[in-house]
Chain A
């Protein structure tokens, strides 16, 4: 990789944008796509790019026509505006009596540790008390040195319809009163740990207090009790790891393709291709730029073209649209310094389908470091790389899935990192909304 050439290229692009600042004031938006390409491929260190942009911001400001106020720059988030919805995430519930203890005990404050037990679960917990209405779908059971917890997701409405995050947070915090028993008579309290919400969709974890013994076979939660089978699935999820066959620039172009498939439209990538070539991130004989051009034509209404990578030929439509959840409960091997735990997947007839993940070593302010694809009986589905929610070093997030997944008894997730590809096939059981 020619990091010096990459930085010079990026700075030249910034110079050109600065020369044309009078005609196009949002200089940072003009350089955003190239910046992303060069930082994601590792051609420019992200901190270095930030420093360059910080200088550029001042340079632009120093040249602004004098007026009371200038429109704020929209910055890099412009690239995926329609899909990056707000997903507010917290590492504990709201400040209620006992919540301080909750925070101390929360695994959010713990160092990541290898999971001893991670597997999917399938149960639906109806919410009908207090001011909450809806169903929480229990998706994944994780038990490791940080304790045992159950990740869940669902559409949860607050009865008073205020719907503000704080009010919903207070309401959900009442779930701290949930109790459970196991098959050996052990009793537990379920505390709300990490959680997040977007519109009426909630994603969060309950952790069990005290930590249960490793061998319990089931839990009964709530009143009336809902039984959660804690027997790992048979067959177990199948995980295979292989080396990545893509150069860094090709990997980035695959990410662009995925984003186009999620958004439904292509963008001009001429500057990005120039930058990747200059940085030595894209082999001269790479077929991917041509494939990307073919995909752009197809998204623009042209005929389907042969020769596209199989994942880019996403399923055209769900054969049986449905609303439902399926637990995935699988932790993937570390990939590029990050760890992903697949929690579950949501299918939605309205198109708002999502893959739920918990990841460490990532920032929710950045696109995911891996490219994710989902496959079911109908074919491949693109997964948004912009997570909704999370924090600086970990994220529990939703990633949009396009088109919606279809019912079936298996699901494959392909995670393409810069160093390796991880493929997971998970047996699934869908539960309806």
Chain B
């Protein structure tokens, strides 16, 4: 919706997470749309070697898993809907369901982790990686919504909007209904029907997930951000609604990030 050449992640700060790798705690980093492995001197070469069946190490396997799921619509079903949606998967090897196979166990194996293990491991990187993965998936599908993907994308937008609307206007998440906005402009967000204050009806594009939600911009102050007009980090300009049905106003916003890359935006 930004209408310019900037990628969706222009407003997303870098994030990083510690991961077990070769018996040590390495760092996995996301920055400007790419995963980097600062603990490995030649991460590109290791990725190539791993793809060719070479030794599998935690950082490299996570980076490859990220690539495999960066357009995987299932991640929108599985991933967190917001900060209050707690994902409990961890990378500490604390159980079969968590992240086996990405630490020492796979170091001497050429086996590829199964899909569930791989997804759980990506989720275990934390909410900031999860948000950015959501952004990648939404951006990959936002411009080519198909009959097959529309129901999933509709509910993916709706679920995340519902989580925001609870804080924005105290909405009942079960009474938030979204549909996909396909045309020009940003869409609409309004209360539906007289006498039913809990019913929130929205039309938003899939790209809202990437450009707004995944960049932590969905709620700035007490305003719902519906589009980014000038993307950027740490300064951006957005269109925001103070209330359902109100005319959007353009706001200049300023971001700061915590150590793990959690963005906080203020006007």
Contacts and interface: CB of A to CB of B under 8 A. Distances in A.
User: How many residues of B sit at the interface, in one of the four size bands?
Assistant: 20 to 34
Contacts of B85: 63
A23 to B, nearest CB: 14
B54 to A, nearest CB: 28
Contacts of A63: 85-88
A64 B74 contact: no
Given A16-B174, A66-B90, A58 B151 contact: no
A66 B78 contact: no
B89 A11 contact: no
Interface in A80-125: none
A68 B162 CA distance: 32
B78 A58 contact: yes
B78 A55 contact: yes
B69 to A, nearest CB: 12
B123 interface: yes
Given A15-B159, A58-B116, A52 B90 contact: no
B77 A55 contact: yes
Nearest to A12: B155
Given A19-B173, A62-B87, A63-B87, A8 B155 contact: yes
A12 B158 contact: yes
Contacts of B152: 7, 11
B78 to A, nearest CB: 4
Interface centre among A7, A12, A16, A58, by most chain B C-beta atoms within 10 angstroms, is A58
A270 interface: no
Interface of A is mostly: helix
B119 to A, nearest CB: 6
A4 interface: yes
B77 A59 contact: yes
Interface string A31-74: 00000000000000000000010011011011111101000000
A429 B116 CA distance: 56
Contacts of B159: 15
Contacts of B89: 61-62
B156 to A, nearest CB: 9
B64 interface: no
Interface string B131-155: 0000000000000000100111011
Given A11-B151, A15-B159, A68-B95, A52 B88 contact: no
Contacts of B155: 8, 11-12, 15
A62 B173 contact: no
A59 B154 contact: no
Contact of A55 (B74, B88, B94, B154): B74
A11 B76 CA distance: 12
Nearest to B115: A58
A52 B87 contact: no
A111 to B, nearest CB: 33
Contacts of B119: 58, 62
A66 B120 CA distance: 13
B45 interface: no
B246 interface: no
B120 A61 contact: yes
B116 A61 contact: yes
Given A4-B151, A8-B154, A62 B74 contact: no
Contacts of B87: 62-63
A68 B85 CA distance: 21
Interface in A330-378: none
Nearest to B78: A59
B123 A62 contact: yes
Interface in B20-77: 74, 77
A59 B158 CA distance: 17
B97 interface: yes
B88 A62 contact: yes
B94 A66 contact: yes
Nearest to A60: B78
A280 B90 CA distance: 43
Contacts of B95: 66, 68
Interface string B92-113: 0011010000000000000000
A77 B66 CA distance: 35
Contacts of A66: 88, 90, 94-95
6 tightest Cβ-Cβ pairs between the two chains A and B: A7-B151, A55-B77, A11-B155, A59-B78, A8-B151, A55-B74
13 contacts: A8-B155, A11-B154, A55-B78, A58-B120, A61-B89, A61-B97, A62-B78, A62-B88, A62-B123, A63-B87, A65-B88, A66-B90, A66-B95
